[in-house]
Structure 1
Amino acid sequence: MATIVRFHELGGPEVLKFEDVPLQEPGKGEVRLRVQAAGLNRAEALYFRGQYLEQAKLPSRIGYEVAGVVEAVGEGVDASWIGKSVATIPAFSMSQYGTLGEQAVVPAFALTGYPANLTPEQAAAAWMQYLTAYGALVLHGKVGAGDFVSIPAASSSVGLAAIQIVRDAGATAIAVTRTSAKKDELIGLGAHHVIVSGEEDYAARMKEITGGKGSRLIFDPVAGPYVETLAAGAAQDGILFIYGGLSMQPTPFPLMQSFRTGLSVRAYTVREITTKPDRLTAGKKYVFERLADGRFVPKISKMFVYKDTVEAYQYLESNEQVGKVVIRVL
């Protein structure tokens, strides 16, 4: 038997329940993990509230990101995986392959090893964030030396990954945060500049920081009306990547600013990486190498124990964190 987390109705974190279930045998192309740690993300909070791209099929498990040890493999899977320490990449449906619990069965193609210098907790806090930022900024945005990059919601795990990617590329990372409470910490975590959007004129500060050029790349998970402001600080031929809808408000297209500067506005999700094997292989190599040599270091905001799963998601939704919220399972 093993304990898993599942929910039978939509709502806040309180709908999450612990349930004892028999050990699940992996099917064709699948593996079973003994889970050691789980990283939480906003997609899961939207999922159990019924606000995610994918609707839950109740009752539903939850979770994309775990690290653990392979215990069993199904038909067609290389048995050499057994006993290896691995992490999961978010390349599957939560309603089919939720991972939060003492055991998780996932498709083998969603597994990756991780560098020996990482703990299981760090490994569970790495792949969603770095691959998400990699796809927009590196694969599509071609970030490089001399670029100015605007990063709204910069204190999130993906925002911090973006800061590290921008710095590694020799570009300038401009973190955007609503209040000054996190400003010093963002500077300490690598941001070259911080714009406090609730206290400063974003476009004016962006022009000041960039010498009038504006930001060539904008990496935004919030969407909603603020995209008009982000567009006003964009450079000629800039690209605005929108990878989330945290504002839960309609998102206007900044038409007039696009006329002026040739700004492109583009929706983006990490599925553009995880659903294409060649892109995923390249992304994994890019992230693995930088985790191994220390250029990338996952920032864990707060660690919870497994029995405090509900409290962990409540903390995630509080917006107090800087970095990843992680649950230590075993």
Structure 2
Amino acid sequence: MATIVRFHELGGPEVLTFDEVPLQEPAKGEVRLRVLAAGLNRAEALYYRGQYLEQPKLPSRIGYEVGAVVEAVGEGVDANWIGKGVAAIPAYGMNQYGTLGEQAVVPAFALTEYPANLTPEQAAAAWMQYLTAYGALVFAGKVGPGDFVSIPAASSSVGLAAIDTVRDAGATAIAVTRTLAKKDELIAYGADHVIVSSEEDYAARVKEITGGKGTRLIFDPVAGPYVETLAAGAGQESTLFIYGGLSMQPTPFPLMQSFRTGLSVRAYSVREITTKPERLAVAKKYVFDRLADGRFVPKIAQTFAYKDTVEAYKYLESNQQVGKVVIRVP
């Protein structure tokens, strides 16, 4: 038997429960993991509220990312995986493969070994964020030297990964945060510039930072009315990637600014990478190499005990953190 985290009704973090279930055996193409650490994501908070891309089938497990050890493999999976330390990457739906718990079964294609210099907690705090940033900024956006990149919600784990990705490419990272409280920490992390959106004129600051050139890439998880403001700072033939809808408000299309600058606005999901094997292979190597040589170091905001899972998700939803929220299991 093993305990897992799941929910039997929609709602806030309080709906999450610890349920004891029989140890699951992996089917063809699957592996069973002994979970050591779990990284939390905004997607999960939307999921247990019924506001995510996929609707949960109750009762539903939850969780995308873990650092773990392979305990058993199903038919067709190389037995050499057994005993290895691995990370599970977000290449599946939570309806079928939730991971938060003492054990989890996931498809073998979603496994990756992590560099020896990482702890299981760091392994659980890397792949969603760096794959998400890679897909938009490197694969689709072709970020490179001379580019100015705007990163709203920069204190999130994906925002920090975007800062790393932009700087690794030789471009300039402009972090955007709502409050002054996070400015110094974002500068210390490596942002080239920080715009405090509640206190500064975003478009004016962008023009100042870029010498009037404007941003070439914008990487936004919030959407909603602020998209108009982000568009006002965009340069010629720029792209606004919207990878989330945290504002939960209608998102206008910035038509006039698009006419002026040739701005492209498009929705983006990490599934553009994780559901394409050839893309995923390249992305995994990109992230692994940079984790291994220290160019990328996952920042963990706070680590919670397994028994405090509900509190961990409350903290995630509080927006206080700078970096990843992690649960140590058991």
Q: Which TM class, normalised by the smaller chain length?
A: over 0.9
Q: Which residue of 1 aligns with 2:116?
A: 116
Q: For 1:251, what is the secondary structure of its paired residue?
A: coil
Q: Which residue of 2 aligns with 1:261?
A: 261
Q: For 2:282, what is the secondary structure of its paired residue?
A: helix
How many residues align? The count is 330
How far does residue 235 in structure 1 lie from its aligned partner after superposition? 0.6
d(CA) in 2 for partners of 1:92 and 1:295?
27
How far does residue 250 in structure 1 lie from its aligned partner after superposition? 0.4
Amino acid at match of 2:98: G
Q: Which residue of 2 aligns with 1:76?
A: 76
Q: For 2:225, what is the secondary structure of its paired residue?
A: helix
Q: Could you give the per-residue CA deviations for residues 164-211 of structure 1, whole angstroms, max 9, x where no partner exists?
A: 000101100000000100000000000000000010000000000000
Q: Could you give the per-residue CA deviations for residues 271-314 of structure 1, whole angstroms, max 9, x where no partner exists?
A: 00000011000000000000000000000000000000000000
Superposed, which structure 2 residues align to 1:93-132 within 5 Å?
93-132=93-132
Q: For 1:58, what is the secondary structure of its paired residue?
A: coil
Q: Which residue of 2 aligns with 1:246?
A: 246
d(CA) in 1 for partners of 2:14 and 2:64?
19
d(CA) in 1 for partners of 2:77 and 2:319?
40
How far does residue 93 in structure 1 lie from its aligned partner after superposition? 0.9
Q: Which residue of 2 aligns with 1:202?
A: 202
d(CA) in 1 for partners of 2:193 and 2:71?
46
Q: How many percent of aligned residue pairs carry the same amino acid?
A: 86
How far does residue 35 in structure 1 lie from its aligned partner after superposition? 0.1
Amino acid at match of 1:2: A
Q: Which residue of 2 aligns with 1:164?
A: 164
Amino acid at match of 2:217: L
Q: For 1:224, what is the secondary structure of its paired residue?
A: coil
Q: Is 1:288 aligned with 2:284?
A: no
CA-based RMSD = 0.4
Q: Which residue of 2 aligns with 1:314?
A: 314
How far does residue 238 in structure 1 lie from its aligned partner after superposition? 0.4
Q: TM-score, normalised by structure 2?
A: 1.00
Q: Could you give the per-residue CA deviations for residues 306-329 of structure 1, whole angstroms, max 9, x where no partner exists?
A: 000000000000000000000000
d(CA) in 1 for partners of 2:22 and 2:49?
27
Q: For 1:109, what is the secondary structure of its paired residue?
A: helix
Q: For 1:280, what is the secondary structure of its paired residue?
A: helix
Amino acid at match of 1:329: V
Q: For 2:95, what is the secondary structure of its paired residue?
A: helix
d(CA) in 1 for partners of 2:69 and 2:205?
48
How far does residue 103 in structure 1 lie from its aligned partner after superposition? 0.1
Amino acid at match of 1:175: A
Q: Is 1:53 aligned with 2:53?
A: yes
Q: For 1:238, what is the secondary structure of its paired residue?
A: strand
d(CA) in 2 for partners of 1:106 and 1:158?
23
Amino acid at match of 2:249: Q
Amino acid at match of 1:316: L
Q: Which stretches in structure 1 are left out of the alignment for 5+ residues?
A: none
How far does residue 97 in structure 1 lie from its aligned partner after superposition? 0.5
Q: Is 1:34 aligned with 2:34?
A: yes
Amino acid at match of 1:41: N
How far does residue 232 in structure 1 lie from its aligned partner after superposition? 0.2
Q: TM-score, normalised by structure 1?
A: 1.00
d(CA) in 2 for partners of 1:118 and 1:7?
31
How far does residue 231 in structure 1 lie from its aligned partner after superposition? 0.2
Q: For 1:311, what is the secondary structure of its paired residue?
A: helix
Superposed, which structure 2 residues align to 1:147-186 within 5 Å?
147-186=147-186
Give structure 1 regions of 4+ aligned residues with deviation exceeding 4 angstroms: none
Q: Is 1:270 aligned with 2:256?
A: no
Amino acid at match of 2:41: N
Q: Which residue of 2 aligns with 1:141?
A: 141
